[in-house]
Chain A
Amino acid sequence: MRPLVGIRVIDLTVAIAGPVATQLLADLGADVIRVEPPFARPLHVDIRPLVDGASDRPYNRILSYNDLQRGKRALTLDLSKSLGRDALLRLAAISDVVVENMAPRVLPSLGLAYNDLRAAKTDVIVVSMPAFGTDGPLRDRVSYGPGIDAMSGIAHLTGYPDRGPMQPANYYCDYNAGALAALATLAALRHRNRTGEGQHVELSMLEGDLQVVGEALLDYTMNRRIQRRSGNDHPSMAPHGVYRGIGDDRWLAIACETDAQWAALCDVLGHAGLARDPRYADVVSRVRHRQEIDAIISTWTADRDAGDVAILLQHAGVPAAAAETIRDLLIDPQLHARDFIRHIEHPEAGALPYIRPAFTPTTAAARPAPLYAQDNRYVLKDLLGLSDNEILTLAEQGIIAEVPPNTS
């Protein structure tokens, strides 16, 4: 399925949320052209080892870049210079979508507001992903994704009951907003195809985050209750937790939804008496005595292999699973059977594993992330028809670069 074949996307995104959005669009077949300032890239962390025989250009081996930009093209262009701005507007004239997640004041200050882009192409779709909104008193606040998780309530609601709030790991807000922005783009394209009308689509990362805590927000608006974090406890299931198994940091999750599952669990525990114990007879009493139950289970799991126990419990009809580490995912039989992780070869940084979206079929692009300035010539000459002299002028003025400044 490549529904976006033939759709050209100008990618002005930074950080994580924006690149996630355009990666999903590339996965769906769009031709995504990243427009990157001709600056040096940060080289202080997570540089991939060099492939034998390849040229040693560390700026092409930045792991986070290569992870987030697969399947896209790269053009360097300084949008703060008028010739750079002109080139972008010419590119916009032959593109369908512009995706950006800079601070809301940035593009207008470069003369690249929605109206400027629209003057170049009347039906252009501009997708903006501000942290809080393109208007409102917080418009100009600075924040990265986890700071938005703080303001969406999910950090307050996540964590141990006896410790402080905890934002979900690894940029939850960014991945959430990225997928929402891709969905927004598809919706706007459908509208354009039917009406000929483009628009300036907006996805506030905070408002995206507020969707996923909707039930807690309604508990407040309906009941004036402020929910508290409760670790792995569930309000209407017990046992419901993550228990330590044998080995280094190995854990087993168990979630009993029904009395029958509880009875089956007691059976596997070799503790049939527990199932008949009136203190644990129904879910209400089990929730009340959850700490005693958790202690019994923890004692039992402590010297057992989490993976073996999970299979035993699943066979007995109890929802259970061993906690997978990230390294476990690389050899996970379920993910392998579903082709969830694919390795794509990068000419200078070697093969990198990529995950696809959570739906199949997808025909995720089999191209790696672009090299620095990889597509300058394709965009400027083939697409925009600039002459060699014009391209030379851009290079001389530092508006484009073939290598990052200050590197050799």
Chain B
Amino acid sequence: RMGALTGLRVADASEGVAGGYCTKLLASLGADVLKVERPRVGDTLRRAGPFLNDVPHLETSAVNLHLAAGKRSITLDVTSPTGASLFERLLETADGLVIGDHTSLHHSLGLASLSSRFPRLVVTQITPFGASGPRVPWLATELITMTTSGYLMMNGDADREPIKPYGHQSEYQAGLHAALGTLAAITDRDRDPNGAAEAERPARSLDVAISEAATFLTGGAIARAATFDRESSRNGTRPAGFPPEYLYPSTIRPTADGGYVYTHRHNRFPNLLAALMQEPRLAASDLLAQPLGHADETDAMMDRWLATRDKWRAAEEAQELRVPFTEVLDPGEIVDDRLGQHRARAFFVDIEHPVAGVVTQPGAPIVLPACSAATSSAPLLGEHNREVYVGQLGLAPRSLARLAAAGVI
């Protein structure tokens, strides 16, 4: 068996979460992903904490071990003339190139002419706001792209400042869209020639905007704003941007053990919640006519029931009646897997890394039973220099030392 994307070669010269997640997804589907990293320092992800035992080290960053798993790594200064020409030789056999916001790289590669020089190559560029428009020169981080996306303003309590979701969500979503777009462009390239004849010129250059990926998460809110001139303002853990008739509960409430459950009414069987809590009022017709309009009253009734149960029992009793409650879990509870789901599906995998040791990490999200799904550890910085420069490009082994001394690799 082989991976679904076995045979596809993708060079990843991007840095950060978005490009890293894009090529992690492609690697998890079987593509041969080669990280092209700056000599000595590597991808910025390698320098982002947390690290194993909190000791900064280029090989033990949690986010790099997560995102670089299944890839290979070479070091190359693509801004040097020698580096640029080596890079071009790699691109001759590549199907995809993923790049970020690295302008010096764009200059030395001649980004604009890449697609004419390498007609089979799909170039995916991931930038905060995209490659066109007035915001191109703006500086950005995850917080900034969240802020321009509109999604930030949907998150948080109405009486406090809006807050960004945990971590790097606009970058993760951009990486996901970039992977989808890259594979779509490669599919377009490889299509049946009869079909391609009637299509427009195939796209070989993809422009991915991180902020737009976060805006994708506002789905529906733009249509509501345009229709009803209604803002989808942040509303704590309750639905944002809906009228009183909207379904409720769909919120997080505290439980007796100091934990929390996510509570929800079954869309098709709204009366089950009243039965679960033996609270007829929860099925009263005026309440069901405007469930979100009765949110405070609903919360108070649910809180009475939840005050005598821990989160595990609350979710279990609700689920027995097919009321969709779930426990709010922290990372430790997820990995420890009291409910047994991850063990049963062998979702977490133990991957041995030469410096970090055996690291338990999430497995691939997409299960393709007809395809293989082996995962290797994140590569050491430049681990595959010899394999690529000597084995693939045919350089003399002794030239590696010279290139290293010149700072090219």
Q: Which of B34-42, B76-84, B238-246, B301-309 lies at the interface?
A: B238-246
User: Residues 137-151 of chain A: 1 if any B CB is under 8 Å from the residue's CB, otherwise 0?
Assistant: 110011110111111
Q: Tell yes or no: A262 within 8 A of B by CB.
A: no
* Among A90-98, A203-211, A387-395, the stretch in contact with B: A203-211
Which residue of A137, A208, A242, A363 contacts B152 across the interface (Cβ within 8 Å)? A242
Q: Which of A169, A322, A330 contacts B151 (CB 8 A)?
A: A169
Q: In the bound complex, how far is the Cα of B378 from the Cα of A214, in angstroms?
A: 14
Contact A150 B252 (CB under 8 A): yes
Determine which of A3, A146, A166 lies in contact with B264 in the assembled complex, contact meaning CB atoms within 8 Å.
A146
Q: Is the CB of A358 within 8 A of B209?
A: yes
- Are B183 and A46 in touch, CB under 8 angstroms? no
* Distance between Cα atoms of A227 and B156 in the complex (Å): 19
Q: Residue-by-residue, is A200-236 near B (CB-CB < 8 Å gives 1, otherwise 0)?
A: 1111101110111111111111111111010110111
Roughly how many angstroms separate A2 CA and B160 CA in the complex, as a whole number? 44
Contact of B225 among A24, A64, A326 (CB under 8 A): A326
What is the CA–CA distance of A362 and B142 in the complex, to the nearest angstrom? 24
Q: A175-B217, A358-B216 known; A191 and B231 CB under 8 Å?
A: no
Q: Does B212 contact A (CB under 8 A)?
A: yes
The answer to whether A340 and B329 have CB atoms under 8 Å apart is no
Complex-state Cα separation, A386 to B335, whole angstroms: 53
Q: Is A275 an interface residue (CB 8 A)?
A: no
Choose the segment among B101-109, B174-182, B401-409 that binds chain A (4+ C-beta atoms closer than 8 Å): B174-182
> Which A residues lie within 8 Å of B140 (CB)?
319, 321
Q: Which residue of B lies closest to A159 (CB)?
A: B163
The distance in angstroms between the C-alpha atoms of A199 and B366, with both chains bound, is 12
Contact of B157 among A3, A132, A160, A204 (CB under 8 A): A160
A371 interface residue per 8 A CB criterion = no
B93 to chain A, nearest CB (A): 18
Which chain A residues border B335 with CB–CB below 8 Å? 217, 220-221
Q: Does A171 count as interface, using CB distance less than 8 angstroms?
A: yes
Query: Which residues of B lie under 8 Å from residue A142 when comparing CB positions?
Result: 266, 319, 322-324
Which chain A residues lie closer than 8 Å to B284 at the CB level?
none
- Minimum CB–CB distance from A140 to chain B (whole Å) comes to 9
Taking the closest CB of chain B, its distance from the CB of A146, in whole angstroms, is: 6
Establish whether residues A214 and B173, one from each chain, have CB atoms under 8 Å apart when the complex forms.
Answer: no
Nearest Cβ on chain B to A265's Cβ, whole angstroms = 12
Instruction: Tell whether B75 is near chain A: CB-to-CB under 8 Å.
Output: no
B322 and A191 within 8 A (CB): no
In the complex, whether A361 has a CB less than 8 A from a CB of chain B is yes
Asked whether B226 lies within 8 Å of A330 as measured between CB atoms, the reply is: yes
- In whole angstroms, what is the CA distance A236 to B190 when docked? 44
Q: Known: A5-B199, A213-B167. Contact between A144 and B250, CB under 8 A? A: yes
Minimal beta-carbon separation of A250 from chain B (angstroms): 10
B266 surroundings in chain A (CB, below 8 A): 142
Residue in A137, A152, A200 whose CB lies within 8 Å of B369? A200
Instruction: Name the residue on A nearest B228 (C-beta).
Output: A46
- The distance from the CB of A167 to the nearest CB of chain B, in whole angstroms, is 6
The reply to whether B359 and A183 form a contact with Cβ atoms under 8 Å apart is no
Q: A143-B324, A203-B366, A223-B54 in contact; A242/B183 too (CB < 8 A)?
A: no
Q: Is A210 a contact partner of B191 (Cβ separation < 8 A)?
A: no
Please state if A186 and B183 are interface contacts (CB–CB under 8 Å). Answer: yes
Chain B contributes a number of interface residues (CB within 8 A of A) equal to 156
Contact digits for B221-263, partner A, Cβ 8 Å, 1 yes 0 no: 1111111110111111100111101100010101000001110
Q: Which residues of A contact B202 (CB under 8 A)?
A: 1
Identify B155's interface contact among A168, A175, A212, A335, CB under 8 A: A168
Partner of A212, one of B167, B218, B366: B167
Q: Is A338 a contact of B132 with CB atoms below 8 Å? A: yes
Interface segment, A251-259, A277-285, A375-383? A251-259
Identify which of A81-89, A105-113, A349-357, A399-407 touches chain B.
A349-357
Is A324 touching B148 in the complex (CB atoms < 8 A)? yes
Cα–Cα distance between A142 and B323 once the two chains are bound (Å): 7
Do A211 and B227 touch (CB < 8 A)? no
Bound: A389/B190 CA distance, A: 43
Contact partners of A354 in chain B: CB under 8 A? 223
B211 to chain A, nearest CB (A): 8
Enumerate chain A residues within 8 angstroms of B166, measured Cβ to Cβ.
154, 157-158, 213, 216, 229
Contact B232 A321 (CB under 8 A): no
Tell me which of B176, B221, B363 contacts A179 (CB under 8 A): B176
A358 in contact with B177 (CB, 8 Å) = yes
Give every chain A residue within 8 A of B225 (Cβ-Cβ). 326-327, 329-330
Contact string against B for A residues 165-181, beta-carbon threshold 8 Å, 1 for contact and 0 otherwise = 11111111001100110
* B345 contacts chain A at the CB level, 8 A cutoff: yes
User: When the two chains form their complex, are residues B167 and A183 in contact, meaning their CB atoms are under 8 A apart?
Assistant: no
In the assembled complex, A63 has its CB within 8 A of some CB on chain B: yes
Cross-chain contact A328 with B150 (CB below 8 angstroms): yes
B319: chain A residues at CB < 8 Å are 141-142
Say how far A297's CB is from chain B's closest CB, in angstroms: 12
Cβ B232 vs Cβ A170 within 8 A: yes
Q: Determine which of B138, B155, B190, B232 lies in contact with A314 in the assembled complex, contact meaning CB atoms within 8 Å.
A: B138
> Would A165 and B252 be within 8 Å (CB), given that A172-B217, A204-B365, A218-B66 are in contact?
yes
- A52 at the B interface (CB under 8 A): no
A353 touches B222 (CB 8 A): yes
Smallest CB separation, B285 vs chain A (Å): 12
User: Would you call B71 an interface residue if the criterion is a C-beta within 8 Å of the partner chain's C-beta atoms?
Assistant: no
| Cβ of A309 to closest chain B Cβ, rounded Å | 13
Interface residues of A (CB under 8 A from B): 1-6, 16, 20, 24, 28, 44-46, 48-49, 63-64, 66-68, 132-133, 135-138, 141-144, 146-160, 163-172, 175-176, 179-180, 182-184, 186-191, 193, 195, 197-204, 206-208, 210-227, 229, 231-232, 234-237, 240-244, 249, 251, 253, 255, 257, 314, 317-330, 332-335, 337-338, 340-341, 352-355, 357-363
New contact pairs (20) apart from A143-B326, A190-B190, CB-CB < 8 Å: A6-B195, A28-B184, A44-B289, A45-B243, A133-B341, A142-B324, A147-B325, A165-B252, A175-B216, A186-B183, A215-B167, A226-B330, A242-B163, A251-B162, A321-B147, A324-B152, A326-B224, A333-B133, A358-B208, A358-B210
What are some 28 contacts across the A-B interface (CB < 8 A)?
A1-B188, A28-B184, A141-B324, A143-B324, A144-B264, A144-B324, A149-B262, A152-B329, A155-B262, A156-B330, A156-B331, A158-B163, A158-B166, A160-B160, A165-B260, A167-B252, A175-B216, A187-B4, A191-B371, A201-B369, A202-B369, A225-B50, A231-B161, A242-B164, A317-B139, A319-B138, A338-B132, A359-B178
* 3 nearest CB pairs, A to B: A359-B181, A214-B66, A157-B166
